[in-house]
Amino acid sequence: MRQRVQLHRNRYKQLRIDMNTQQTSQGLERLVFDNKFTRELPADPEQKNFRRQVEQACFSRVRPAVVRHPEKIACAREVAELIDLPEFECESQRFADVFSGNALLDGMDPYAMCYGGHQFGNWAGQLGDGRAINLGEVINKKGDRWILQLNGAGPTPYSRDADGLAVLRSSVREFLCSEAMFHLGVPTTRALSLVSTGEQVMRDMFYDGNPTLEPGAVVCRVAPSFLRFGNFEILSSRGDTDTLRALLDYTLRTDFPHLGNPSQEVYLQWFEEVCSNTAEMVVHWQRVGFVHGVMNTDNMSVLGLTIDYGPYGWLEDYDSDWTPNTTDASGRRYRFGSQGQVAQWNLFMLAQAIYPLIDEPEPLQKALDSFARQYTSGWNTMMANKLGLSEYRPAGDDELIAELLNVLALLETDMTIFYRRLTKISSATSPDASDSELIVPLQDAYYDPAQLDIEVSKKIAGWLRKYIHRLRTDAMDNTQRVQQMNSVNPKYVLRNYLAQLAIDKAHEGDYSMINELLELLRNPYAEQPANERLAEKRPDWARDRAGCSMLSCSS
């Protein structure tokens, strides 16, 4: 009898799987593709996939590599909804096949983009999508355009000496961070899915001559556009003004239609908007303590989206000189405190690239100057919001903020925890309390409370007294202040060690922590009592461990 019941259960379970698979296949097949990029812009005439210089073209058509055994690890339901796919449709093998690159849907027109870039301040020539392949452009029911891009889908003409593949550890980091940033309110590309490939990929993680085999994976990125500063730079560097103009005209018609028909005046308006969007993005990075790690011009989106999650990291202890990129360890070009200046430098390179279409330096310089003003203004407003102030007042607040940054650097101070705990200080807090009493609400933010000697405590408490005085002159009441601070200062971020723990489990075939973190980071500003352990400071074991402190550019 038990065997008969179990047989019926198994048949019912298989029937449900078959029905879901059929529904999923139908859902995937209903995706509407309108591949405007490949339809309107010049293509590389060479159809074979081999490494080469590609000129007078914006892209090369290329098919993703076939992998041994694709398996879906995780899917972001909100991103699936963007392209009209219900969450259950992500469970089929057909979904894994499509978003690993093993199967193409009708209407897909896969290609890799041609672009160049300045890397660490030096012109690197042609770079391009070395391991990213755009599957096609989906138009959803609202009429929105979403490009599906596989990262780690195999070699392209732009792969140089690489294999075009990606490994599980970097793919986990990219998948989780893309979605974490979105829910933090940071402009970003999205991630639909994380799929393991069943392949083993050779990587030298530390660039020390000891490569090892690692499990492979593919992330499906989703964005309205993946155009970078470098797409324009490569054409300008080659004197290909006709293709440069065609690309910019396409960009205006597709992603900036509100600016009007292409013209020299509209080109300038476009550059001004790129400057504005970039300033907004980097201010958000500074707000949450995010360090991109590799702000080359080929990693800068013209839409002002965070793009290419390579050796990124979050500040654990506050350090304006910190960079997560081992390649940048000596020069620290892309350190946390310099991200605004680097963004402006990158915009200057973009201005140079489109100069042949403008032929006037003054309006381009004017836009660059406006970036500096907007970034400074945005940063000041952002800091006032983090401190729970109703407005930024230059007289007094400049000094208050500058002193705060010095206080944060006095000893190892967890930036995320510090700002969340600062809500415990209010206008009602007595400035006459002792230094040690004033600091009590912030104790958990310090990695080694024993470093709070008399001198350090005096400086921290001195700043807190100035902060209390400032709160007493502000129009915002305490309830509003706490709400504001908790809406801009996250409780949860994708701490470097948390991502590494998820990677460690994934290497053992356990993907549970990936999905646990995905769910946690959907509500980064909310108090989640059951997840308090995931808001804790970096543990000592993670201080110098690979993946928890600094990372290489190795995929």
CA separation for the pair 252, 266 (Å, rounded):
8
Residues 202/207/210/214 CA torsion (nearest 10 deg): -30
User: Residue 401 is encoded by which pair of tokens?
Assistant: 């903020």
Q: Exactly one of 298, 308, 317, 414 is catalytic; name it.
A: 298
Query: What six digits make up the tokens of 115?
Result: 């672009």
Amino acid in position 232: F
Rounded Cα gap, residues 507 and 214, in angstroms? 9
Residues 6+ apart with CB under 8 A from 516: 502
The values of phi and psi at residue 223, to 5°, are: -160, 155
- For 60, which DSSP code? E
H helix count then E strand count, the chain? 17, 11
- Taking the C-alpha atoms of residue 262 and residue 266, their distance in angstroms, rounded to an integer, is 6
Contact predicate 314/497, CB 8 Å: no
> Distance from CA of residue 469 to its chain's centroid?
37
Burial of residue 238, with CB atoms counted within 10 A of its CB: 0-12 exposed, 13-18 middle, 19 or more buried? middle
| Greatest Cα-to-Cα distance within the chain, rounded to the nearest angstrom | 86
- Give 169-220 as a 3 state SS string: HHHHHHHHHHHHHHHHCCCECEEEEEEEEEEEEEECCCCCCCCEEEEEEEEE
Residue 298 a catalytic site member:
yes
**Phi/psi of residue 457, nearest 5 degrees:** -60, -40
Report d(CA 1, CA 435) in Å as an integer: 75
Q: Which residues on neighbouring strands pair with residue 118, listed in sequence order?
A: 123
**Opening angle at CA 292, ends 483 and 420, nearest 5:** 20
Residue 210: CA atoms inside 13 Å, Cβ hemisphere, count? 2
Q: How many CA atoms lie within 13 A of 245 on its CB side?
A: 11
Tell me which residue of 415, 439, 449 sits closest to 535, measured CA to CA: 415
Residue carrying structure tokens 């899915």: 193
Task: List, by residue number, the catalytic residues.
Answer: 298
